[in-house]
């Protein structure tokens, strides 16, 4: 059992605010992802939970106990770092075993626990090797095994895949997903990669400048982003966002007229997903092709509207040239609308 509560937690260094009013309960066995760009406060939040940073405001509770003043070693959390942080003079077996020695676990338990952890991340054939003899993916798996062997109440993972190449990231991500299911331990995972967040999380916390922008399941955040920042951060490609204005129920912008929007007149930002729109003989956007990208299963076509690039997915067999005119169908029911000034979502 490891429920974590953050009650209006904040972190400041002098006048600089790193995290502000972070208020959230993380359920026992939940896989929570903190997502946002560099400098948004996600790693600082994790380090406060771990005890590596002092809390300036608010309280952190683990299983109902305030842990603000507890040392990291007394919080029963295990952390996996981006840099692996392995001991180069020890082989894989000893690296995995090291937390058991530090915590004075009876030696009779060591071998069984080390081998159980190594089997979970498929390292049995590498236990005799030194870290320098391993690939980046294997080293990250050693770091995972070293966290697993502790059997902690909470796993904290700080961008563990960012040093891996694209193919290794996919396979290691699948391994972490499977491990989280198998271990059923409360996990907090920090990343700037929205694909990691969408594929791993039970819930995602999107952060910007130390402030939580939205908390929800990956589906909730994808389908109903709270503001234009979340809309532009989640999805590959990100949501198309077009600045324009409503005139008599019609959204108007360069190359664009979308009717049937029941909103008062005035400036708004309109958004839609590339996969929700389509090419058509008659549509709401008519513009020259800015670029084409063959994705294998589809062709991504982009047009420029004002200062924004707007993308739509077409069939993989679609053929055209840059500057050819295309017409894009954007039904009003697929559109998301945001306030022009604040960027906040309009309506449910």
> What local confidence, expressed as pLDDT, does residue 176 receive?
85
Flag whether 288 is in a domain: yes
Q: Are residues 170 and 311 in the same domain?
A: no
pTM, entire model: 0.90
Q: Is there a domain that residue 65 lies in? A: yes
> pLDDT tens across 135-150, in order?
888 888 898 888 888 8
In a domain, 48, yes or no: yes
pLDDT at 173: 86
Residue where a domain stops, chosen among 184, 211, 230? 230
Q: Coil, strand, or helix at residue 71?
A: coil
Number of residues in the chain: 348
Decide if 169 contacts 126 (C-beta within 8 A). Answer: no
Domain end position, chosen among 198, 213, 230: 230
Task: Based on the fold, state whether residues 307 and 218 are members of the same structural domain.
Answer: no
pLDDT of residue 236: 85
307: left (phi over 0), alpha (psi -120 to 50) or beta: alpha
- Model pLDDT, residue 59: 97
Please identify every stretch of the chain with a pLDDT value under 50, giving residue numbers as ranges. Answer: none
Counting Cβ atoms within 10 Å, is residue 298 exposed (0-12), middle (13-18) or buried (19+)? middle
pLDDT value for 165 = 79
Same domain, 45 and 144: yes
Using alpha carbons, list the distances in angstroms from residue 192 to 158, 160, 212, 254, 344.
10, 11, 14, 32, 22
Domain count along the chain: 2
CATH code, domain carrying 292: 2.40.50.140
**Predicted pLDDT of residue 1:** 62
Are residue 203 and residue 328 in the same domain, yes or no?
no
Residues 160 and 291 in one domain: no
DSSP 209-249: TTEEEEEE-HHHHHHS-SBHHHHHHSTTTTPEEEEEEEETT
- What CATH number did the domain enclosing 18 receive? 3.40.50.300
CA 21 vs CA 50, 119, 343: distances in Å: 18, 41, 21
Closest CA to 24 of 43, 7, 41: 7
pLDDT of residue 348: 57
- Assign 113 to helix, strand or coil: helix
**Domain end position, chosen among 200, 230, 260:** 230
Q: Are residues 319 and 263 in the same domain?
A: yes
Q: What is the pLDDT of residue 126?
A: 92
């Amino acid at each position: 059992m490891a429920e974590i509560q953050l009650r209006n937690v904040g972190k400041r260094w002098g006048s600089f605010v790193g995290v502000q009013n972070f208020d959230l309960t993380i359920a026992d066995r939940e896989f929570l992802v903190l997502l946002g760009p560099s400098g948004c406060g996600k790693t600082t939040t994790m380090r406060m939970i771990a005890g590596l940073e002092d809390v300036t405001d608010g309280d952190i509770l683990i299983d109902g106990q305030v842990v603000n003043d507890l040392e990291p070693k007394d919080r029963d959390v295990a952390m996996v770092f981006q840099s692996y942080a392995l001991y180069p003079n020890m082989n894989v077996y000893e690296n995995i075993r090291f937390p058991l020695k530090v915590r004075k676990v009876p030696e009779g338990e060591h071998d069984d626990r080390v081998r159980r952890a190594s089997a979970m991340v498929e390292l049995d054939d590498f236990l005799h090797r030194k870290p320098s003899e391993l690939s980046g993916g294997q080293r990250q798996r050693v770091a995972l095994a070293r966290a697993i062997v502790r059997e902690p109440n909470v796993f904290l993972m700080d961008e563990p895949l960012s040093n891996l190449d694209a193919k290794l990231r996919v396979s290691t991500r699948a391994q972490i997903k499977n491990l989280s299911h198998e271990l059923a331990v409360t996990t907090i995972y920090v990343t700037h990669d929205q694909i990691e967040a969408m594929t791993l999380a039970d819930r995602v916390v999107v952060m910007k400048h130390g402030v939580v922008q939205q908390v929800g399941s990956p589906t909730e955040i994808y389908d109903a982003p709270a503001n234009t920042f979340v809309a532009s951060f989640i999805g590959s490609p990100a949501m198309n966002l077009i600045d324009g204005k409503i005139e008599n129920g019609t959204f108007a912008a360069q190359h664009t007229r979308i009717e049937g929007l029941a909103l008062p007149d005035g400036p708004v930002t309109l958004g839609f997903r590339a996969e929700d729109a389509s090419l058509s003989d008659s549509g709401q956007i008519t513009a020259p092709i800015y670029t084409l990208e063959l994705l294998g299963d589809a062709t991504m076509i982009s047009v420029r509207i004002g200062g924004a690039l707007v993308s739509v997915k077409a069939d993989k067999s679609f053929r055209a040239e840059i500057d050819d005119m295309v017409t894009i169908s954007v039904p009003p029911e697929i559109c998301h609308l945001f306030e022009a000034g604040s960027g906040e979502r309009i309506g449910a």
